[in-house]
Structure 1
């Protein structure tokens, strides 16, 4: 499946929204793009925020280079975006990360200028599969993994994921299903970088002094609620943890999970 075609739409590019005095940086997940945060960005922009969501290196149309991209590049991009967003401002600042973006936002908050509020949505810090411990060695023998090889494309959670990523895909088309199963591959080396990034975020958590809002879906099969509780307990500043009904797709617009997320954010940020 051609990356340029799949990620060619402008929804996958970085975006700036809103002209309000407050500032918010939104950091996407793995292997996502700013598209997954656009609805949330629009919601914040309508409430007085100037919102920026950068496209991280190795994602979107650049995904053919993901295997050559290291976590330092992701962290550097997030840090530069945060520094640029803060320039010349005196209003409220929010640093928000979703999934892998949570690991990046946490490290940016720990190492650089702290936000007025750190928001972590289903924050990733470890791979749940116990076989993940073999990834550092496996990367030299198995160069890539096919994440959709055995996917049930009729599952509602899968459809929600693709609706957020690329709504034009017809998941009922057998040709589309076959292409996703056989042509979409993730470099094993990228998963190792993801794994190491999460471990570094977990270790950095006690250095975060900014007030943190953590929101976690109880039915999340990507980031476990038990893992998020452990991470929240390590944060060095005041923490508000909300565990809500829902899956990993809290940020998918149009459903009760997104409405509940916005309600929580309105109470805590506005």
Structure 2
């Protein structure tokens, strides 16, 4: 099976602090590659798996559900755990949901949730059961980012409705797990994006059991904050949050 250019998983060996990076729905590891390289330059060991069904064809993705995506995250966690003393998990969009689930179920030292959905800006979702009767896929626009090579935004130009339905199931499931999360959590959210309703960030913040938690709002970015105009701020804030010295103080 051919993989899109830029959608390949990546592993960047470094120090005893491991960072598991998780990409978003219909996206690929490319959208978190620049963040991964930044963290690696800071000395972290970085692993970013390609989630099942992603980075290949929408037909392949239509066969997958959230349990398949989470299995890839679990595999990545176990690999890092065998190599590193500390584990931080950073998830973008749907990857944030999977990161939160992992943090509720496994020994993780800290979490970062980027553009993570609880509420989605798409009124068509109410009609999803009807749409699924008549079609398998709906078109999806992919954004071009100034100064960013296209391979970093590798992903699908259509969304499988069966997988979208599973994403909605995942949101409900993770929402129920939020009170179980007690480890340090950084939430970053663009205030004016058009994919995830910004109130998702406040919802997560209010519902998690973590005492050490923080929201950072971005004023100029869209949904994929790891590629947008404030990406350098995102990289710096993530690196500061997952410092081993900070984790051990909590």
Normalising TM by the smaller chain, what interval? 0.7 to 0.9
Alignment match, 1:36: 31
Equivalent of residue 216 in structure 2, options 242, 247, 261? 242
Alignment match, 1:177: none
With over 3 angstroms needed to count, the CA separation of the structure-2 counterparts of 1:167 and 1:118, relative to structure 1, is: closer
Equivalent of residue 123 in structure 2, options 130, 133, 141? 130
| CA drift at 1:237 | 1.0
With over 3 angstroms needed to count, the CA separation of the structure-2 counterparts of 1:40 and 1:131, relative to structure 1, is: same
Alignment match, 2:159: 186
1:8 matched to 2:1? The reply is: no
Where structure 1 has 5 or more consecutive residues not aligned to the other structure, the ranges are 152-157, 170-179
> Does the aligned pair in 2 maintain the 1:225–1:243 contact within 8 Å?
no
Alignment match, 2:248: none
With over 3 angstroms needed to count, the CA separation of the structure-2 counterparts of 1:162 and 1:266, relative to structure 1, is: closer
Greater Rg by CA: 1
> Does the aligned pair in 1 maintain the 2:13–2:46 contact within 8 Å?
yes
Could you say what the CA RMSD is over the residues aligned between the two structures, in angstroms? 2.5
**Helix, strand or coil for the counterpart of 2:76?**
helix
Alignment match, 1:102: 96
With over 3 angstroms needed to count, the CA separation of the structure-2 counterparts of 1:107 and 1:33, relative to structure 1, is: same
Cα-to-partner distance string for 1:139-172 (whole Å, 9 max, x where unaligned): 1232221124xx8xxxxxx222995653699xxx
**Counterparts in 2 of 1:69-80, with a 5 A limit?**
69-80=64-75
Q: TM-score, normalised by structure 2?
A: 0.87
Where structure 2 has 5 or more consecutive residues not aligned to the other structure, the ranges are 244-250
> Does the aligned pair in 2 maintain the 1:32–1:165 contact within 8 Å?
no
**Counterparts in 2 of 1:95-244, with a 5 A limit?**
95-113=89-107, 115-148=108-141, 158-160=143-145, 163=148, 166=151, 184-238=157-211, 239-244=213-218
Moved over 6 A (4+): none
**Helix, strand or coil for the counterpart of 2:226?**
coil
**Helix, strand or coil for the counterpart of 2:32?**
helix
Alignment match, 1:264: 237
Structure with more of its chain in helix, by fraction? 1
With over 3 angstroms needed to count, the CA separation of the structure-2 counterparts of 1:63 and 1:204, relative to structure 1, is: same
Cα-to-partner distance string for 1:33-58 (whole Å, 9 max, x where unaligned): 10111110000111111000000001
| Aligned pairs, number | 241
Distance 2:137 2:105 in 1: 32
> Does the aligned pair in 2 maintain the 1:164–1:252 contact within 8 Å?
no
> Does the aligned pair in 1 maintain the 2:188–2:218 contact within 8 Å?
yes
Cα-to-partner distance string for 1:191-230 (whole Å, 9 max, x where unaligned): 1011111121111111111110111111221112212111
Out of 244-253 and 221-230, give the one that drifted further.
244-253
